[in-house]
Structure 1
């Protein structure tokens, strides 16, 4: 059992609190990434999608998980279970310091998550308090104008990493 913490980093211009639409523990937010088999090292061809609200009972009848997948190369089963409660919004201060913000913790057995894919379903707020919702980051950046604060807002240089944690 290895836990992987998904951490995000971005340059935020006049924005703060970048996070999934309903918060870091949003039950419907789709986490998209590829998985690498822990046995043979094969990387999945397609992205894997996991959400907190989709659970599957484990075969042994001991609890649930968010993903059960068989490696197409070696046939080994692997599971990924999401562990909520560790995520924090990416603030302007964290962004300016060049640091990452934790988003979600994954308990991985037989697989390793790699290559998180930014997509739709994000929110942030301007430093003036204007809320921006349904932000789509699939293009790699976001730019808009804050009418209330009379300033441009932007998200750019998106990065995501999976860090092994105990």
Structure 2
């Protein structure tokens, strides 16, 4: 099992999470490595918890099925549950966003492409369309009359 963790400095917002619904699935973007031959796939790959793919030899289904071009082994990964929310904390701490059951592969890097959601800490204002690809985000909360931000974003993939 692998876990994708997030650590960030939230100011004026909380409940940060991927915008991930059956109508609008979030694609978690990773670099993938074969655990048999340690070959790293040259391209980024996308994994959605709402997409199921057949594994060869009628071994069931997984969110992501991949065949290593080097050793020809098939590997798979499944997202175990809906993403967790990242709540504001002082000091910021690492929180497990998703957990992945990986068989024959490891995800080595994460790219935060896609839209995220958050809400105002005191105002409850809903913020949508948050992009974290630059590692930070700034906006203004009209209800609170103050600037809000997400800074110093750190991603980590570790054994769960």
Q: Same fold (TM over 0.5)?
A: yes
Structure 1 unmatched ranges of 5 or more: none
Which residue of 1 is the match for residue 66 of structure 2?
69
Displacement after TM superposition at 1:107 (Å): 0.8
Q: Distance in 2 between matches of 1:35 and 1:27?
A: 24
Displacement after TM superposition at 1:121 (Å): 1.4
Identify which of 58, 76, 79 aligns with 1:79.
76
- Contact preservation (8 Å) 2:19, 2:25: no
Q: Distance in 1 between matches of 2:6 and 2:24?
A: 19
Identify which of 42, 45, 70 aligns with 1:45.
42
Displacement after TM superposition at 1:133 (Å): 0.6
Verify: 1:89 aligned to 2:85, yes or no: yes
TM-score for both structures, normalised by structure 1: 0.88
Displacement after TM superposition at 1:27 (Å): 7.0
Q: Distance in 1 between matches of 2:111 and 2:132?
A: 9
Displacement after TM superposition at 1:26 (Å): 8.7
TM-score for both structures, normalised by structure 2: 0.91
Verify: 1:121 aligned to 2:115, yes or no: yes
Identify which of 133, 137, 148 aligns with 1:153.
148
Verify: 1:19 aligned to 2:17, yes or no: yes
Residue 119 and residue 18 in structure 1: after superposition, are their counterparts in 2 closer, same or farther (change >3 A)? same
**Two-structure CA RMSD over aligned residues (Å):** 1.9
